[in-house]
Structure 1
């Protein structure tokens, strides 16, 4: 079902315009819906929750994170109470792409925005979570404000993003950088009210092992599969890009989750997907250019009082070198 040959962009070497259109449509579609108050310019001098030399800035400054974010949504959907609450209290069924856009908006703001903006975003989401509670048809309760649900959503997102980074980033972080990433991402979950959040790769692995008996392929999970296995978008470029993105996200699932989704294993198809998405990501890096929000965040941070401008260079330069050594110098 999910292993049909999609589109080998590596075979389209002479069709640069098509590839660039796909990449640009992909990037634009993910920023089409944002949360109120999202901005990256003020107040001047505020480096935000993490800052330019953080692992968060380095990892989230690459388009590979989008694949990981989608994988996180797919993996998270295996927890039936979470999925039921999402469907019951949101427009996810009617506008899944809008939900993805708002998730991207939230993660971007928590990563790159100033501290006051990030705090406001967290408060907004906490207020939204207060309305998401109830009982499933089988009697099981769900509550989006409960620590266990916040942790599940945060860990699956972080797990997806860092694994996409490790597979597709040209200069991925070291194992120590992975631990630092989980520790930093845990701050987001804590801002939403969670406690006891896993903060290292080994803690995340142990957490997922504990959760596996609670995960299942349900009817509502099937709706997620149906959406992410059918191309969406108004143009051929958008549909081709979305299908490639989703194939790469499913391919990124850990083997135990792929088995729950009943995914077929086809080495040739897997090779084609990975080759194609690498081409797509490099097009995004080369032709779309630096993200405006990252540029604005760097400019804002460079105005930090008493800090020489050259010491707050963009995360894609000094942090790349620092992260390869396994230390960001943040303690």
Structure 2
């Protein structure tokens, strides 16, 4: 097996270890799904930098303690993180690139799963994956972090109002999952206002720190995947906004730390672009008759 094939195999063994029922990208022919090939979300999610953003979003998401507690109580990610990552990637890719009936089915599956995620914190604070505010927190932290990774590591990132288009696209997913459309941030300015509103409510507990330690660990069944995941977790930490780093106690140890993290981010994204083939994205473009050019590895 050559190097490119090894990189591709290791990447998808981590990201596609499990799939939601009904995920496919070839039918019905001509159906663009929720977004289509000219959308900002197709462009952003078509690059490996999204993986770094996804991990950074999980780290940021731990600061909403009731949401994180609900995930801990009703998820198997601590026991089988690769399977959970696979389901998450299946949902995001399927809803982004799948046809309308495929995206509708995946949304329905996740909404049914969310109905089981409800309860109360030990201090009495409620949590529920069906509450609009909890859906919005999860979606916004992911969209925000993915876009930060895109701007920093994509060879030709979106700029200006195209970044707002991405937030507006991601808002569609949050709305389909049950969030109140009027409350979902849909632009960079609205996202900044949202975080300004949320920051006084964010807390750090031992459970939060345990989740962060876990997310910053190594995953995978082979050495290449484990090393790559460890690098990605450190690069993802660097992507966090300064206020989140301070809350989590993850401020850089030295002024050189961010420089090293960003050099590693450039190296890992270039390596993954060299080796990873996005077959599902290729199939989605073929379904709607649109040309597909993967991001350059350089």
Contact residue 54 and residue 315 of structure 1 kept, 8 A: no
Contact residue 219 and residue 226 of structure 2 kept, 8 A: yes
TM-score (ref. length: structure 1): 0.84
**Which residue of structure 2 lines up, in the alignment, with residue 280 of structure 1?**
268
Deviation at 1:229, TM superposition (A): 2.6
Larger radius of gyration: 1
Of residues 116, 126, 133, the one that matches 1:148 is 133
Which consecutive unaligned segments of at least 5 residues does structure 2 have? none
**Which residue of structure 2 lines up, in the alignment, with residue 227 of structure 1?**
214
The 1-side partners of 2:27 and 2:207 are apart by 41
Which consecutive unaligned segments of at least 5 residues does structure 1 have? 1-15, 303-311, 321-331
**Which residue of structure 1 lines up, in the alignment, with residue 259 of structure 2?**
271
The 1-side partners of 2:32 and 2:62 are apart by 33
Contact residue 147 and residue 193 of structure 1 kept, 8 A: yes
The 1-side partners of 2:107 and 2:270 are apart by 32
* Higher normalized contact order (CA 8 Å, seq sep 6+, divided by chain length): 1
Q: Does 1:199 align with 2:186?
A: yes
Which SS does the other structure have where 1:134 is aligned?
Answer: strand
The 2-side partners of 1:117 and 1:313 are apart by 21
Q: 1:57 to 1:275 in 2, by over 3 A?
A: same
Worse-superposed segment, 104-113 or 84-93: 84-93
The 1-side partners of 2:230 and 2:115 are apart by 34
Q: Which runs of 4+ in 1 moved over 6 A?
A: none
Q: 1:91 to 1:287 in 2, by over 3 A?
A: closer
**Which residue of structure 2 lines up, in the alignment, with residue 237 of structure 1?**
224
Q: 1:315 to 1:133 in 2, by over 3 A?
A: farther
The 2-side partners of 1:287 and 1:133 are apart by 41
Say how many residue pairs are matched: 292
Worse-superposed segment, 97-106 or 110-119: 97-106
Worse-superposed segment, 27-36 or 170-179: 27-36
The 2-side partners of 1:183 and 1:85 are apart by 27
Deviation at 1:288, TM superposition (A): 2.4
TM-score (ref. length: structure 2): 0.93
Contact residue 78 and residue 221 of structure 1 kept, 8 A: yes
Q: Does 1:176 align with 2:161?
A: yes
Q: Over residues 241-260 of structure 1, what are the superposed CA-to-partner deviations in whole Å (9 max), with x where a residue is unaligned?
A: 01001001111000000001
Q: Over residues 92-142 of structure 1, what are the superposed CA-to-partner deviations in whole Å (9 max), with x where a residue is unaligned?
A: 221223222211111101100000000111111111111111111101111
**Which residue of structure 1 lines up, in the alignment, with residue 73 of structure 2?**
88
**Which residue of structure 1 lines up, in the alignment, with residue 196 of structure 2?**
209
Deviation at 1:237, TM superposition (A): 1.1
Q: Does 1:300 align with 2:287?
A: yes
Deviation at 1:228, TM superposition (A): 2.4
**Which residue of structure 2 lines up, in the alignment, with residue 103 of structure 1?**
88
Q: Over residues 243-281 of structure 1, what are the superposed CA-to-partner deviations in whole Å (9 max), with x where a residue is unaligned?
A: 001001111000000001101313322212211221221
Deviation at 1:219, TM superposition (A): 2.1
The 1-side partners of 2:57 and 2:232 are apart by 13
